[in-house]
Amino acid sequence: MPQTGYATSSGKVTAPQADLASVINQCYQCGKCSAGCPVATEMDLMPHQMVRLAVLGDLDRIAASKSIWLCLTCHTCGARCPNGIDVPALLDPIRHQILRDKMDTKGSPVPIFHKTFMDTIKTFGRVYELFLIGMYKLRTKKYFDDMELGMQMFKKGKLHLLPQKTGSLSEVKQVFKKSGLK
């Protein structure tokens, strides 16, 4: 039976729209979303826990979590959920608000990585690893972390010296423009 609670925000994060909130409120905590999530083992809040927090109106805890930045938007959770609850639909507006309002993310490098990744896509239309790594290191000032891993990737040809071309850069830029994400 659907829960009657309405997802509202207890703090800085804006509550989800009524239609999304009514979907989220159908959650009965079966955990199928978390069981299928490919990054659940790395998360500090599992997908079903984030949904529960949203139902309880504690969106600030979701915003302060590592999980919100680890979600791959793969939609596995939504496909597995018996109630059709798609966790990224809940997380995307929160991520946008954190970036748009420059909310405090308590020194976590994950939002910086997320922003740098999006800047890379906006600039090149696809991932350009060397630019991504360079910008990330400049922004975090963690210049020597993961050096060994980087060298291994370079030796295996995973890091291209020049950006690879994409034919749809103008379309990608349009998407960014429409989203309002800076």
Question: Which residues here bind ligand SF4, judged by CB under 6 A?
Answer: 27-33, 37-39, 47-48, 51, 71-77, 80-83, 85, 87-88
Beta carbon nearer to ligand SF4, 81 or 135: 81
From residue 169, alpha-carbon distances to 75, 119, 173 in Å are 25, 13, 6
Distance CA 43, CA 140 (A): 21
Beta carbon nearer to ligand SF4, 21 or 135: 21
CB of 40 to ligand SF4, least distance (A): 6
Beta carbon nearer to ligand SF4, 21 or 85: 85
Beta carbon nearer to ligand SF4, 72 or 151: 72
CB of 170 to ligand SF4, least distance (A): 28
CB of 24 to ligand SF4, least distance (A): 8
What stretch of H or E contains 64? none
CB of 179 to ligand SF4, least distance (A): 18
Match 């596995």 to its residue by tokens: 76
Contacts of 61 (CB under 8 A, 6+ apart): 45, 53
Beta carbon nearer to ligand SF4, 52 or 173: 52
Distance CA 30, CA 36 (A): 12
CB of 52 to ligand SF4, least distance (A): 8
From residue 131, alpha-carbon distances to 114, 119, 136, 145, 152 in Å are 14, 10, 8, 16, 17
> Which among 53, 81, 59, 45 has a CA at the least distance from the CA of 10?
59
CB of 66 to ligand SF4, least distance (A): 12
Beta carbon nearer to ligand SF4, 91 or 132: 91
Distance CA 43, CA 48 (A): 11
